[in-house]
Structure 1
Amino acid sequence: MSKPDIKQLLAQKDVSGLVRALKDKDLQVSTQAAFALGALGFEARAALPALREALSSAQTLKDSQKNPKNAKDFARNMEISGYYETIQKAMILIEQL
C-alpha cells in the first residue's frame, strides 16, 4: 500500500483523508498529517476528536519509551516526541482560529 500524499490532501483540504493519514502506522506520515491539519486551522475542526485520540496514543508511546537502552531506542523516542508535539500544536491552531 502506498503512502498518502499529504501535500495533495492538504491542497484539496481533504480533512477526512488527513485524518486517515493521521492513523498511519508510519510516524512520519502521521506527523505530516497532524502538521497539515494544523495548517488548515479552523477548517480542520472536524479532526479534533481524531487528534485527541492520536495525542493519547502518542502519550502512551512516549511513556513506554522513557528509558532508551540504545541509539535506536533514543531515535524512536525523539520521533515519538516530535509526533506528540506536532499534534499538540495542530490542536492549538485549530481551536484558536
Structure 2
Amino acid sequence: MSQNLDLGEFKETAIIKKLKKSKSNNNLKNIDTAKTETTEKRGRKQKYATVEERNEARKKQQKAYRERKKKEVQSMKEKIKEYENKEVSHEEKGSL
C-alpha cells in the first residue's frame, strides 16, 4: 500500500514514519489498530470530570445569577422611589 502512495506529501508523523518502514500489508493493519487505540477524543476538553461536579457548578451559577438579578431589581425599585419623591417635591414647589 505504501508503494502506491507518495508519502513525501504528508507531514512526518509517527504513522507516516511507520508506513515508510512497513514492507507488508500485515504491518499496515497493525499500525491502523495501534492508531485507533492511542487516539484521544476530538474537540474541546471537558471542563468538569463528573456529572455531579457539573451539576454543582451549575447550581452555583444559577444562585449567583439570581442574586445579581435580585440586587438589580432592588436598585431599580430604589431609583423609582427617588424619582417619585423628586416628582412630588417639584409638584409641591410648583403649587406654592
TM-score greater than 0.5 by the shorter chain: no
TM norm structure 1:
0.29
User: Relative contact order (alpha carbons < 8 A, sep ≥ 6): 1 or 2 greater?
Assistant: 1
Larger radius of gyration: 2
TM norm structure 2:
0.29
